[in-house]
Amino acid sequence: MGTVMYDPKTDPDYRNPYIDVDEWRERPMPDGTVVPFRYIHGGFAEKGVKFLFCFPEAGRYEGRFYQYLSPFPGPDEEVASVGRLGENDRIGFCLAQGAYFVESNMGSTAAFGDKADNTLVWKSSAAVAEYSRVKAMEIYACGRPYGYVYGGSGGGYKTMACIENTRTWDGAAPYVIGSPYSLPNTITMHVQGQRVLRGCFGKILDALDAGGSGDPYKELAPDEARMLRELTAMGFPPLAWYLEARGEVDPGALPVLTPGVKMADPSYFKEFWEVPGYLGADPESTAVRDRLRFTGVVKSVNLPGKTAERKAEDGQNGVDDAWKKQLADGNGAWIELEEVPHGENLYLEGVNITPRTGAAAGKVLLLKDIVYKPGEKGGYLTIGMCYGMDDLEGVLSCIAAGDVVELDNSDYIAIQSYYRHQCPPDPDFHAWDQFRKEDGTPAIPQRSFVMGPGFTGTGTVQDGNIQGKVINIQALMDESTCPWCADWYKKKVEKTKGSLKDHRVYYMERCMHGDTDTRVNYMVVNYMGALRQALKDLADWVERGIEPLPSTSYELGTDGQIHLEKEIRKRFGLQPAVNITANGEKCARVKAGELVDFQVDVQMPEGAGEVTEMILSFEELEDVSPETMYPAELEYERYVKDGVHGALAEISHVYDKPGTYFATVRVMSNRHGDRGELYFQIRNLDRVRVVVS
C-alpha cells in the first residue's frame, strides 16, 4: 500500500485562518532600487501556527511562490527573514522573480521546542501554503499558483518531508541535507575530532592545501592519525578542518542535541566509562586523558550583563545559526573559585558547572573558559552559552560564597563517541562499515536502539517518494552533514520512483554548511547563488518543461568522500572549475624580488554559462572585509575549446620578503554571462602556494 498523501484542505485544524496585519511596505533591493510589496501576517490559532506572505505588485507577479523552512522554528519564525537584506535576502529574491514569499513558525510556540507531534512542521507548512494560494487567487484574480518549498540542514529534512508526504508543492529544493542517521552522529563526531586532533590541525591543513604533500596523516601521532582516518571514512571532509586550524572551534548544535540523547539513553553516559569496547573504558584512550572532574568552593559571583533583546525580524533562521535561539548567553558572567583546575593542555570544552550545595544545587551551567590568577590557585570560571536556561541571571543569583560546585566534562566527551555505537540497521550506510565485522555484525558494543530517525524533527523518515520535481544543492566541504548524504537520497529516490527523471543533485566545491557570507576567509565560497539558480530552474522545469542541467557527475569513494569527475565536459552541474598556477606549478619556489607569473584557467560545465568575474589576492591579508579581501581584479578572456566554455587570465607579482604565501583567486559565473544578475552569481575559488626565499 502506498503512502497516503496528506491534504491540508480537508484537515479541520486549518479551517479558520486569521489575518492581523495587511499593509503595503517597501523592500530595499541589492541593486539600490526599492520594491513595494503587500505584507500579510496571520495564522491558524487552533495549532499555534503563524505565517507571513509577501506579495509583489500585480504587474510583477508571475504565478508562483517560494516557501522557506527554517532548520529550528521558533515562536516568531514567520518574520525571521524580514530583517535579512542584501544579496541573500529571501524576500527580495522572491519579489524580483515575480514570486511571493511564504514563511511560518510551523506551529512552534517556544524557542526551546515544544512539539509533541513533529509532523506538525510539514502539515502546518502545507496548510499555510494552500491558504497562501487562496489569498493569491483573491489578490490577483488568477488561477492556482505554482509552489516551491526549500530549506537547508534541519530545514532540508522538513523540505523532504513536505515533498514526500503531500502534493501541496510542485517542487522542492532541499540543501545541505542529512540522512536519517546524520543526527546526532555528524555533530558528535565533528566535536570528537576537535578534541583529539586539536594539536595537529595546522599539519592537516598544510598537507591538503595548495602545493601540500597531499598526505594529511604523515606528520600525525598514531592516535591522531587513527581519528582522522575514522572521521574521514565517516564522511567528514578533511579540508573542512581549516576552521579549527585557524582557531575556530565551534561545537555546532551539540549543546542543543545532547539533552535529547541523555533523556533517551541515560545509561550510555555511565557505560561509556565502564564497559569494555567503549573508548572511556580504555585507560590509554584520549577520552580518559582529557576527562576533567574537579570540585571547588565559590568565592564570589558576577552576574551577566544585559543582553539586547533579539528581534524576531533579525533572523537566526539560517542553517548555521537557527539552533542558537535555544541558548542563553553568559554575557560576561563568572564564578570565582578559591581553587581552579591547573594542568597542561586541559580540555575545557563542554565542562558542566553544577552547584552541589546552596539554593542553585542541581542547576547546570556551561564553562566558557578559566581565567587564572597569576601565581595563585584560584581563578574565575566564565560562563558560556547555556542550553534551555531562560533565567540565567536568576540561577547565578542563587549561587553564594561557600557553595560547592563541580566541574565535569565526562558527558561531553562520552557523547562525542556516540556515532560509533549507532550502526544503522540498513547496511547501505557504508560509513559505519569500519565498526562492523566482515559478516556485517557490529565489532564494538551498540546501543539498544538507533536514534537518528528521531532527530529529523519531522516525525517521518525520508523514503524518496517525491511528489514533484526536486533539486538538491550539497556542499563538498560540509562540516555539519556529510556530503555523501545527497548521494544516499538520490539513490533512495531512484529506488522508490524507478528513475531520476524528477531529481537533480549539484555538488558544490569549496562550500561549507552555512548559508551566509559571515566568514571572511580564503578557503570557501558561498553556495547561495547556486541555490537561487536551482530555485529558478525548478520553476522553469515545472512551469515550462525546461529540463535543468544534468546532475553533477561523481563517485562515492571507499574513503567516505565524494570525488567529482575530473573532466569538466563529463562533470556537469552548475559550478565553474578553477585552476590557478604560479610559474606553471601549484607550489612555486622563488627568491625575494623575482617576478611570479600567475595563470588562471576557468572551465564551465555545459550549459552553465560564462565567467563574470575573477578577483585575486596575492596573499592572505589580515583585517579585511569581504569587499577588500581580493584587491586585484583580473582581466580575462573568454574562450570556447572543444565545446567547453572557459576563461583565461594572467597576472604577475613580486614578493619582496621571504615567507610562504598563498595566492587565492575567486571566480564567479552566471547562466547568461551577466554580472548584473546579482542573485545568480555562482562562485568557486582555487589557491596556489608560493615559497619565497
In contact, 489 and 462? CB cutoff 8 Å: yes
HSE, side-chain direction, 13 A CA sphere, residue 93 = 24
pLDDT of residue 518: 53
Give the pLDDT of residue 623.
87
Indicate the pairing of strand 469-475 with strand 171-175. parallel
Per the model's pLDDT, the better-predicted residue between 390 and 308 turns out to be 390
Taken in order 260, 264, 270, 273, the sign of the CA dihedral is negative
Cβ partners under 8 Å of residue 498, min gap 6:
none
- The whole-number pLDDT of residue 1 equals 38
Nearest to 172 by CA among 682, 535, 494: 535
DSSP 110: S
Count of CB atoms within 10 A of residue 627's CB? 7
Q: Which residues are 18's β-sheet partners?
A: 43
Q: Which of 319-323, 390-394, 450-454, 572-576 has the highest mean pLDDT?
A: 572-576
In this structure, what are the phi and psi dihedrals at residue 43, rounded to the nearest 5 degrees? 175, -175
pLDDT reported for residue 307:
46
Query: What is the 3-state secondary structure of 83-101?
Result: CCCHHHCHHHHHHHCCEEE
> Averaged over 462-488, what is the pLDDT?
97
The separation between CA 348 and the C-alpha centre of its own chain, rounded to angstroms, equals 25
| pLDDT of res. 477 | 97
Amino acid at the residue 681: Q
User: What tens digit of pLDDT does each residue of 521-545 get?
Assistant: 899 999 999 999 999 999 999 999 9
Return the pLDDT at 122.
97
What pLDDT score does 2 carry? 55
Percent pLDDT > 70 in the chain is: 94
Provide Rg for the chain, Cα atoms. 26
Q: What is the pLDDT of residue 255?
A: 79
Q: What is the mean pLDDT of residues 190-211?
A: 97
Q: pLDDT category, 625, cuts 50, 70, 90?
A: confident
Using the predicted structure, report yes or no on whether residue 213 has a pLDDT greater than 50. Answer: yes
Which of the pair, 244 or 314, is modelled with greater confidence? 244
**Cell of residue 546, nine digits:** 525546461
Residue 613: Cβ-neighbour burial (10 angstroms; 0-12, 13-18, 19+): middle
Residue type (1 letter), 53? F
- Given a cut of 90, whether residue 455 has pLDDT beyond it is no
Beta-sheet pairing, 503-508 with 379-383:
unpaired
Residue 200: band (very low, low, confident or very high) from pLDDT cuts 50, 70, 90: very high
- Quick one: pLDDT at residue 308? 43
Which candidate, 274, 414, 298, places its Cα nearest to that of 360? Answer: 298
Separation CA 341–CA 369 (nearest Å):
11
Residue 489: closest CA among 508, 471, 467:
471
Of 449 and 589, more confident: 589
Q: Evaluate if residue 157 carries a pLDDT over 90.
A: yes
Query: Does 318 have pLDDT greater than 90?
Result: no
Query: Which pLDDT value is given to residue 482?
Result: 96
Contact assessment for residue 74 and residue 111, using Cβ atoms and an 8 Å cutoff:
yes
Predicted pLDDT at 324: 40
C-alpha cell at 139: 489578490
Contact 317, 150 (CB under 8 A): no
In sequence order, the β-bridge partners of residue 379 are 337, 372
For residues 30 and 370, what is the distance between their CA atoms, to the nearest angstrom?
A: 44
250 pLDDT higher than 90: no
Which residue from 47, 118, 6 is spatially nearest to 461, judged by alpha carbons?
A: 118
Contact at 8 Å (CB) between 347 and 389? Answer: no
Q: How far is CA 247 from CA 193, 197, 200, 328, 416, in A?
A: 14, 12, 12, 23, 20
At residue 115, the pLDDT reads 57
Give pLDDT tens digits for 49-99: 999 999 999 999 999 999 999 998 888 999 999 999 988 899 999 999 999
The pLDDT mean for the chain works out to 93
Strands (E), 128-270: 146-152, 171-175
Q: What is the DSSP string of 2-16?
A: PPPPB-GGG-GGGS-
